[in-house]
Chains A and B, each alone.
Chain A
């Protein structure tokens, strides 16, 4: 079974709106990573947050981690049509091989 599970499975918003997707996991982690996958392409690493961190920013991306709730969220502010993609969380539980969730499909309408 997947260690990380993204929610919602699909998200449809208008350009300029914020997009929030969540990742829940089951066991303790060393770090959690977020990836983006454009249609027909490989995954692209977006951001990594360590278990002792609570929040990280990268451009329009904001990631939070709540280890007590075993959950993380990815916020994309001021979404653009080019942000249309699937987003995956990947959790590293200490084996150093992250386990990927099923992803959230984001559609941003121009």
Chain B
């Protein structure tokens, strides 16, 4: 099915470990985003990529890095995981920033840092 695919769906890390969350979309969208969702906090933007070759910080970028590998793929890396990064991470895409058609979201990665 067309859409946004995130891997893995679940992950448990120890404090200080690193990992990369993968995201791929097959809708030929230009813009891609990484959000985290915490209870009672709504969604907060970590990083976004308006188009291939560009990335920009969002509201909560500290502790994360991103790579826009190509038009389809946008990865999120935690270099040294901390318990405060326990969250559900969502990747999303849109035709372009400001797209009036809204975002298409992946099903999320539930990350626990112990």
Contacts and interface: CB of A to CB of B under 8 A. Distances in A.
Given A41-B108, A42-B90, A43-B90, A97 B102 contact: no
A41 B9 CA distance: 11
A48 B102 CA distance: 7
A88 B35 CA distance: 14
8 contacts: A35-B102, A41-B107, A45-B101, A92-B98, A97-B48, A98-B103, A101-B42, A102-B42
A93 to B, nearest CB: 11
B42 A2 contact: yes
A43 B107 CA distance: 8
A25 interface: no
Nearest to B56: A97
Nearest to A101: B42
B45 interface: yes
A2 B103 CA distance: 18
Contacts of B7: none
A42 B106 contact: yes
Interface in A32-65: 33, 35, 40-45, 48, 50
A39 to B, nearest CB: 11
A45 B104 contact: yes
Q: Assign chain A's interface to a size class.
A: 20 to 34
Nearest to B41: A102
A43 to B, nearest CB: 5
B12 interface: no
Central interface residue in A41, A43, A88, by most chain B CB within 10 Å = A43
A64 to B, nearest CB: 18
Nearest to B39: A102
Given A96-B97, A97-B48, A97-B58, A88 B102 contact: no
Given A100-B43, A102-B41, A103-B42, A42 B98 contact: no
